[in-house]
């Protein structure tokens, strides 16, 4: 009898489970379907990411100013989904937007799984996002930074070149060379050692490895730094986020450069891939030119 009763109730139990499942799915659908707001803020916001008080620190200041890109992807009443890109490090951001009588502010958190993760506090002022970032790990060399970001569209353009009005010296790599003098009595005096830095020639403004198939005669007499810059200008055009300080120093100040992603291998054209192989082959054997510069 009990078995017959259970069999009779089974369809009702199944129907009840389906109803419960459907109700849960409907609730999730309502949550997922929360309307997006402030879509005009979506996109890349790019600018300087700099230390609050440089006077507190001594030594190398080359890392004190970086280029920051915050990509805002989705905004709802309860959630902001975004991404930060700085120093070749791409991190997801999650937070919330507040709109207090037209004054828009954000608080966005990086996950905390990377030692350089932290919290962004942002205010929209006109057409600029300004604010500060605080590292979760306060023992970092630069635990606090400020930023001013403007909205920029990123589009690959094979014709983009480095600005020729700038000089390209690798301040992160130098040799100390001692100056030797011979006195009247024949004795050799070793004077103070001077720092000599790698420098690029003007060929980096003339050779475009994204639009022109390079030949051996184009590159065989170039300096190693020339070859490296010509190659990395390809990556910069595709929005590659440079990890190496040398190339961040070269490309971060460039107006058209927007660091977007950590890998652009699948974006490279046939011409670019062939030129990269040629440049790599000659870079292996090229020498650098070290000059004396004042800083």
Distance separating alpha carbons of residues 209 and 198, to the nearest angstrom: 22
- pLDDT one-digit tens code per residue, 224-249: 999 999 999 999 999 999 999 999 99
Predicted confidence band of residue 5 (pLDDT cuts 50, 70, 90): very low
Task: Classify 144 as helix, strand or coil.
Answer: strand
Q: Kindly report the three-state secondary structure assignment for every residue of 190-208.
A: EEEEEEEEEECCHHHHCCC
Query: Tell me: the pLDDT tens digits for 8-58?
Result: 554 554 545 555 555 555 455 445 568 999 999 999 999 999 997 655 545
Would you mind telling me the total number of residues written for the chain in this entry? 295
Residue range 48-97, pLDDT digits in tens: 999 976 555 454 556 789 999 999 999 999 999 999 999 999 999 999 99
Say what the pLDDT of residue 289 is: 76
Phi, psi for residue 102 in degrees, rounded to 5: 95, -10
- Cβ neighbours of 233 (radius 10 Å): 22
Give the model confidence (pLDDT) of 100-109 as tens digits. 999 999 999 9
The H-or-E segment that residue 35 falls in is none
Query: Is 170's pLDDT higher than 60?
Result: yes
> Which single residue is written with the structure tokens 């905004």?
75
| Model confidence pTM above 0.85 | no
Per-residue pLDDT at 16 = 53
CA distance 193 to 168: 23
Contact criterion met (CB below 8 Å) for 175 and 195: yes
What torsion, rounded to 10 degrees, do the Cα atoms 85, 86, 90, 96 define? -50
Residues 6+ away with beta carbon under 8 Å from 41: 72, 75, 104, 124
- Selected residue with higher pLDDT from 187 and 215: 215
For residue 25, what pLDDT is reported? 55
Helix (H, G, I), strand (E, B) or coil at 37: coil
How would DSSP label each residue in 252-290?
TT-TT----BS--GGG--HHHHHHHHHHHHHHTT----E
Domains (ranges, CATH) in the chain? 39-152 (2.40.128.120), 169-292 (no CATH)
pLDDT(6) > 60: no
pLDDT at 69: 98
| Residue keyed to tokens 């070290």 | 290
Neighbours of 219 (CB within 10 A): 21
Give the pair of three-digit tokens for residue 206: 């003339």
- The confidence band for 287, taking pLDDT boundaries of 50, 70 and 90, is confident
């Amino acid at each position: 009898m009990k078995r017959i009763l259970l069999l009779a109730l089974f369809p009702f139990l199944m129907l009840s489970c389906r109803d419960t499942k459907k109700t849960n799915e409907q609730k999730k659908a309502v949550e997922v379907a929360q309307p997006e707001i402030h879509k005009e803020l979506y996109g890349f916001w790019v600018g300087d990411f700099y230390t609050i008080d440089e006077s507190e620190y001594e030594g190398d200041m080359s890392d004190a100013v970086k280029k920051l890109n915050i990509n805002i992807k989705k905004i709802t009443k309860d959630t902001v989904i975004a991404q930060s890109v700085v120093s070749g490090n791409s991190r997801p951001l999650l937070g919330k937007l507040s709109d207090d009588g037209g004054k828009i502010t954000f608080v966005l958190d990086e996950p905390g799984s990377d030692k350089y993760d932290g919290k962004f506090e942002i205010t929209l002022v006109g057409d600029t996002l300004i604010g500060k970032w605080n590292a979760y790990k306060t023992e970092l060399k630069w635990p606090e930074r400020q930023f001013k970001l403007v909205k920029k569209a990123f589009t690959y353009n094979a014709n983009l070149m480095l600005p020729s009005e700038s000089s390209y010296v690798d301040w992160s790599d130098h040799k100390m060379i001692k100056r030797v003098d011979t006195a009247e009595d024949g004795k050799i005096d070793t004077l103070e050692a001077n720092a000599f830095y790698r420098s690029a020639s003007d060929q980096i403004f003339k050779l475009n490895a994204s639009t022109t198939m390079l030949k051996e005669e184009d590159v065989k007499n170039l300096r190693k730094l020339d070859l490296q810059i010509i190659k990395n200008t390809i990556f910069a055009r595709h929005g590659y986020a440079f990890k190496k300080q040398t190339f961040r120093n070269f490309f971060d100040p460039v107006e058209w450069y927007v660091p977007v992603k950590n890998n652009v291998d699948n974006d490279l054209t046939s011409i670019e891939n062939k030129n990269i192989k040629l440049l790599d082959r000659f870079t292996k054997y090229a020498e650098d030119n070290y000059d004396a510069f004042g800083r």
